[in-house]
């Protein structure tokens, strides 16, 4: 009907029938030319076509240029890649889907001939940090699902580096749901350097003709008496804990309806601060007790949610996991105390009885009825069921596959556990193809299935549970009604938090729509309000770009770049990204020792608070630090965050740190957060490299080891023996032979060696090797 000019209809990079057939697409495309643009458009209305046309325009406009198309997941990356393959005449060798499974050397090689690269942000981020190739000639980066461009997500880092490095940068952000608050929307604009916004909603006149009807239905489901009895006991325990926390002036109310999970999580941080600032042992003990109560309040709140919205099978799985922790002695004191409580034991017993009786959550029965009815009416139907918890996904699939018409399969992320295997990205892609072809007619998915997946055949979406997020709710609904009419069914457990979540999501979506309307109508904004460009360039503004420029001015006083070798697993932390923004040359490698290397003599191990305490418990800490000491003359340990707020006794923490400093000779430095850590590493590297400019090499395997040091290492391999005990034994018995030939009574005379450790040394020294272990 309405199409672009003849120039675009006959564009050499477009296949013959690739046209913009909708007036709003043409308007968006034209309005986004040569601007950093945010496009907010309902799902299924061809935002990929707009991105494709803009990409073709930029490639034609600027010779020898490249485009990058980013998406959060590999299935979504593949989807965009296939769209370009189908709709453009660009040589297939010049269109490349690049993933983390492609080795860095191969990525570097592919980059030379690429016109359009389709990538996940993590891959591009790592390549920018390690300077694998230049993005100077990239003239457009498309950020799909750009509502993720907040906080420390990789999109934010990539946008900053791109604006800094590219000769002709342009950014296109695409989303159906930018966020429910004006602050969130402005954060996305700032992080992606947006200076133009295009918004289309379902109610716009130019969009309405292309909107397919989506019928929404809310079904309230009452809980059975057995569930209500379990819930009553949980609420009783929760009220008792809330009352204790209120009496300690940590909660404003003990009313079960006024305290949220978010309140409890915030309270945990508040308690940690009070532990750190406590002036006497009594106050500190009181806060440690409060921390224990709060930990159990969080658990009880979660348990309450499971019985309300998921059922006894999901709750039994959760209970069993924690019982396993207790039996394997990996549980903390608060968990042990909760599971030892008589009332909680009664809860466990009732859950077990309900499961033995086969009393599943009534949502499950209703879901089965809905699916059977839908598939009976239309055998070609494709249904997506969204569920918040992985354990519930497993239980739902198992239940539904007992019914012949329903061919269900899970659709979850890559993470695997002992009891639940994740899906690799290749498996996800194949599964989506199987779904389209009818091998499966029902997918039970977690949040990984919410974003962007274009499954034209999907004609029904079911919310097994309600999410209190406007963004996630819109993303879920957007999986149906894309090319034909669809149906959305939301299951709500009556009288539970499902109802509260429903109203919370509704309020957030209304707020988002109001804010989008404001953005569409600039006249509704105050006349004196500065433009976004002015905002970004205003001195002292909250713009991250402005702060980054200040950092460079502060720290980069000469043109010689600092070099820091980073373990590539550290890219999950913001520290590496922050260092890269200081114009440090980052080299990513798979390091066997240290997290950061700043010179041939200096290696740094970084431990966030939780990792520090976990590594003490599981015995990793001293093994890692012994290796650090072995390979570096100047080893450094950075402890990040509040290490004293853990469940480990303060005396044990002080003892561990004292041993690290005095016995291992490692320098220890505490930082408040990732910002302070990155600044400290920067200054350390600057000082370390003042006298030795240029590249440096690390060869762990060739460093000579002193014989005495080797003896300590061997003895420290015996369970229960640390570096200090190893030194004491060697001083006493002079050699390995002397230690292993000693009797138990002789061994216990050594300082710090008790009967238990002496028994272990004696047993190990006389144990016969079994080559079939």
Q: How far apart are CA 383 and CA 487, in angstroms?
A: 10
Cβ-based neighbours of 157, under 8 Å, separated by 6 or more: 125, 128, 577, 580, 581
Which residue, among 145, 141, 191, 148, has the nearest Cα to 166 in the 3D structure?
141
**What would the 3-class secondary structure string for 118-180 be?**
EECHHHHHHHHHCCCCCCCCEEEEEEECHHHCCCCCHHHHHHHHHHHHCCCCCEEEEECCCCC
How many angstroms separate the Cα of 363 from the Cα of each of 178, 189, 392? 31, 40, 12
Which residue, among 478, 457, 458, has the nearest Cα to 43 in the 3D structure?
478
With both helix axes pointing from N to C terminus, report the angle between 312-327 and 342-356 in degrees, rounded to the nearest 10: 130
Query: Which conformational region is residue 673 in: left (phi greater than 0), alpha (psi within -120 to 50 degrees), or beta?
Result: beta
Q: Please, are residues 29 and 5 in contact by the beta-carbon 8 Å criterion?
A: no
Rounded-to-10 torsion of CA 261, 306, 339, 247 = 30
* pLDDT computed for residue 558 by the predictor: 41
For residue 3, the SS3 value is coil
Q: How far apart are CA 146 and CA 178, in angstroms?
A: 7
Q: b or e along 339-348 (b: 16 or more beta carbons within 10 Å of the residue's beta carbon)?
A: beeeebeebb
Query: In this structure, what token pair is assigned to residue 605?
Result: 């191990």
* pLDDT computed for residue 596 by the predictor: 95
Query: In this structure, what token pair is assigned to residue 737?
Result: 């032979």
Q: How far apart are CA 183 and CA 52, in angstroms?
A: 30
Q: What is the DSSP string of 608-630?
A: EHHHHHHHHHHTHHHHHHHHHHH
Which residue, among 348, 97, 75, 77, has the nearest Cα to 230 in the 3D structure?
348
Q: Please, are residues 661 and 629 in contact by the beta-carbon 8 Å criterion?
A: no
**269, burial (CB in 10 Å: exposed 0-12, middle 13-18, buried 19+):** exposed
What confidence tens digit (pLDDT) does each residue in 503-526 have? 888 888 888 888 877 776 655 444
Which residue, among 493, 472, 264, has the nearest Cα to 392 in the 3D structure?
493
The angle formed by the CA atoms of residues 662, 664 and 665, to the nearest 5 degrees, is 65
Q: How far apart are CA 201 and CA 720, in angstroms?
A: 65
**Which residue has tokens 């839908």?**
374
Which residue, among 75, 81, 85, 102, has the nearest Cα to 433 in the 3D structure?
75
Whole-prediction pTM value? Answer: 0.71
Cβ-based neighbours of 337, under 8 Å, separated by 6 or more: 292, 296
Q: How far apart are CA 293 and CA 254, in angstroms?
A: 13
Query: In this structure, what token pair is assigned to residue 431?
Result: 């599964």
What confidence tens digit (pLDDT) does each residue in 542-564 have? 332 333 333 333 333 444 678 99
Number of other CB atoms surrounding residue 6 within 10 Å:
8
* pLDDT computed for residue 772 by the predictor: 55
Number of other CB atoms surrounding residue 150 within 10 Å:
17
CA 665 to chain CA centroid, Å, is: 35
Tell me the pairing of strands 382-386 and 442-445.
parallel
Q: How far apart are CA 705 and CA 713, in angstroms?
A: 10
Residues of the chain falling short of pLDDT 50: 1-7, 19, 524-559, 701-704, 773
Q: Please, are residues 314 and 391 in contact by the beta-carbon 8 Å criterion?
A: yes
Which residue, among 616, 622, 684, 620, has the nearest Cα to 653 in the 3D structure?
616
Q: b or e along 191-203 (b: 16 or more beta carbons within 10 Å of the residue's beta carbon)?
A: bbbbbebbbbeee
Q: Please, are residues 403 and 372 in contact by the beta-carbon 8 Å criterion?
A: yes
Q: How far apart are CA 270 and CA 275, in angstroms?
A: 9
DSSP assigned state of 647: S
Q: b or e along 720-758 (b: 16 or more beta carbons within 10 Å of the residue's beta carbon)?
A: ebbbbbbbbbbebbeeeeebeebeeebbeebeebeeebb
């Amino acid at each position: 009907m309405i199409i672009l000019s003849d120039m675009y209809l006959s564009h050499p990079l477009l296949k013959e029938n690739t046209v913009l057939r909708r007036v709003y697409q043409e308007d968006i495309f034209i309005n986004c030319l040569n601007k950093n643009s945010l496009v907010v458009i309902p799902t299924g209305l061809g935002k990929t076509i707009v991105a494709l046309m803009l990409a073709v325009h930029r490639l034609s406009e600027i010779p020898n240029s490249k485009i990058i198309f980013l998406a959060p997941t590999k299935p979504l990356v593949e989807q965009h890649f296939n769209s370009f393959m189908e709709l453009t005449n660009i040589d297939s060798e010049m269109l490349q889907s690049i993933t983390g499974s492609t080795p860095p050397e191969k990525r570097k090689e592919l980059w030379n001939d690429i016109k359009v690269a389709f990538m996940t942000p993590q891959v591009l981020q790592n390549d920018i940090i390690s300077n694998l190739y230049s993005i100077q000639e990239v003239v457009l980066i498309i950020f799909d699902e750009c509502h993720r461009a907040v906080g420390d997500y990789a999109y934010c880092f990539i946008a900053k580096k791109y604006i800094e490095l590219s000769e002709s940068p342009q950014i296109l952000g695409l989303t159906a749901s930018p966020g429910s608050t004006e602050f969130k929307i402005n954060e996305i604009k700032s992080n992606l350097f947006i200076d133009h916004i295009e918004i289309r909603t379902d109610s716009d006149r130019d969009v309405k003709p292309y909107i397919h009807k989506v019928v929404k239905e809310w079904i309230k489901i009452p809980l059975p008496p057995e569930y209500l009895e379990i819930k009553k006991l949980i609420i009783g325990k929760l009220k008792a804990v809330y009352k204790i926390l209120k009496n300690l002036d940590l909660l404003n109310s003990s009313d079960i309806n006024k305290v949220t999970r978010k309140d409890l999580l915030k309270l945990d941080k508040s308690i940690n601060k009070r532990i750190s600032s406590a002036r006497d042992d009594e106050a500190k003990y009181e806060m440690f007790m409060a921390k224990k109560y709060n930990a159990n309040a969080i658990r009880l709140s979660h348990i309450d949610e499971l019985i309300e919205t998921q059922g006894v099978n999901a709750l039994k799985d959760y209970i069993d996991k924690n019982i396993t922790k207790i039996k394997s002695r990996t549980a903390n004191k608060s968990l042990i105390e909760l599971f030892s409580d008589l009332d909680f034991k009664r809860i466990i017993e009732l859950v077990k009885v309900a499961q033995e009786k086969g009393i599943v959550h009534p949502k499950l029965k209703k879901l089965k009825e809905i699916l059977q009815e839908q598939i009976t009416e239309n055998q070609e139907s494709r249904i997506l069921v969204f569920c918040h918890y992985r354990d519930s996904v497993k239980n739902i699939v198992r239940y539904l596959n007992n019914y012949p018409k329903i061919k269900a399969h899970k659709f979850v992320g890559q993470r695997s556990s002992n009891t639940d295997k994740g899906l690799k990205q290749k498996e996800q892609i194949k599964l989506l193809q199987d779904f389209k072809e009818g091998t499966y007619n029902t997918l039970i998915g977690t949040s990984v299935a919410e974003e962007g997946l274009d499954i034209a055949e999907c004609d029904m979406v079911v919310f097994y549970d309600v999410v209190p997020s406007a963004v996630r709710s819109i993303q879920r609904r957007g999986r149906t009604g894309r090319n034909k009419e669809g149906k959305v069914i939301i299951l709500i457990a009556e009288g539970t938090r499902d109802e509260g979540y429903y109203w919370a999501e509704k309020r957030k979506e209304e707020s988002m729509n109001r804010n989008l309307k404001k953005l569409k109508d600039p006249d509704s904004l105050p006349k004196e309000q500065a433009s976004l460009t002015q905002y970004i360039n205003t001195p002292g503004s909250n713009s991250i770009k402005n702060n980054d420029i200040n950092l460079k001015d502060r720290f980069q006083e000469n043109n010689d770049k600092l070099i820091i070798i980073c373990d590539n697993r550290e890219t999950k932390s913001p520290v590496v990204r922050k260092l890269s923004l200081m114009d440090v040359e980052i080299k990513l490698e798979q390091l066997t020792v240290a997290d950061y290397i700043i010179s041939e003599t200096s290696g740094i191990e970084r431990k966030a608070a939780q990792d520090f305490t976990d590594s003490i418990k599981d015995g990793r800490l001293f093994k890692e630090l012994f290796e650090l000491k072995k390979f570096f003359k100047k080893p450094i340990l950075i402890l990040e965050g509040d290490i004293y707020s853990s469940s480990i006794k303060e005396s044990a923490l002080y003892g561990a740190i004292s041993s690290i400093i005095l016995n291992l000779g490692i320098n220890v430095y505490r930082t408040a957060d990732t910002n302070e850590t990155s600044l400290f590493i920067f200054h350390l590297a600057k000082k370390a490299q003042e006298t030795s400019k240029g590249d440096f090499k690390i060869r762990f395997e060739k460093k000579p080891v002193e014989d005495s040091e080797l003896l300590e290492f061997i003895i420290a391999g015996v369970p229960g023996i640390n570096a200090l005990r190893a030194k004491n034994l060697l001083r006493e018995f002079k050699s390995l032979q002397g230690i292993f030939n000693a009797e138990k009574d002789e061994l216990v005379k050594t300082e710090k060696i008790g009967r238990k450790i002496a028994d272990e040394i004696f047993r190990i020294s006389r144990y016969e090797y079994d080559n079939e272990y």
